[in-house]
Amino acid sequence: MIGEGAKTYGTSRDRIKGVYYASEMYECERKLYYAYNYKVEHDFETKKNFEIGNSLHNLVQGSLMLYAKNNPEIKLFNELEDLKIIDDENGYEIHGRLDTIIYGENESNHIIEFKTTGSLNRINNPVNHHIEQINYYLHFFPKYEGHLIYINKKPKGSLKKYENFKEFRGITYNDAMFKADIEKVKNVNYKIKNNILPEPEAKLKKEKNWECWYCPFRQKCDNNEN
């Protein structure tokens, strides 16, 4: 089993080749390849950003929990079990923990994924990565409705203010997307385990170019280092 012992503070998390996470499996293939071969030392700013993001995330989840306690018709769960896919034949597994499930009235059930962002104003549509991540969870609950909630990392005034959030509702399970993502993990896993450097996916696909801006492996990638 994995998940336990994974570290996200100080350095990038300890990784085991063959073990992947729903929150990362949509990233640039080459970036994933490097992440499983080289550890990244995060600088102070990055660590601070992680901490701010985690704290806001926990605060909002906690507030929702409180709301549900005061509204007994709503059942809400935050601490959820690992949603895993294990493919022994191809030697990989995927793990994911969704943020929140809400069982509402009239059998309306919802999966909520929270994301913190420093650029809330620029988010007019849900980020593709995040749709794919929530789609992974919806695979286990295909009749539920998915919601992505973006939280402003630099809240203006009280965090309660609506302007500090953007919500995208009505995300439904997409089986073709799920299958394509699983196929991608299978292929990347093969490359990672056999030391085959993947194509620089984010450089080649316009809609993924932005990943390069934040990539800690930029130099290696520019030099096509293996």
Ramachandran quadrant class, 3 (left: phi over 0; alpha: psi -120 to 50; beta: rest): left
Q: Is 64 helix (H, G, I), strand (E, B) or coil?
A: helix
Which secondary-structure segment (H or E) carries 103? strand 100-103
What are residue 111's DSSP bridge partners? 101, 146
* Site pattern 19..58 for ligand SF4 (x: CB under 6 A): ---------x-xx---------------------------
Q: Specify the residue, 171 or 185, whose C-beta has the smaller distance to ligand SF4.
A: 185
Q: Per-residue b/e over 112-147, b at no fewer than 16 CB within 10 Å?
A: bbbbbbeebeebeebbebbbbbbbbbbbebeebbbb
Among 193, 218, 223, 224, indicate the residue that binds ligand SF4 (CB under 6 A): 218
Q: Specify the residue, 12 or 164, whose C-beta has the smaller distance to ligand SF4.
A: 12
Q: Is 21 helix (H, G, I), strand (E, B) or coil?
A: strand
Interaction with ligand SF4 in 182-201: which residues (CB under 6 A)? 200-201
Residue 166 contacts ligand SF4 per CB under 6 A: no
Q: Name the segment binding ligand SF4 (CB under 6 A); options: 85-93, 98-106, 122-130, 210-218.
A: 210-218
Applying CB under 6 A, which residues contact ligand SF4? 28, 30-31, 200-203, 211-212, 215, 217-218, 221
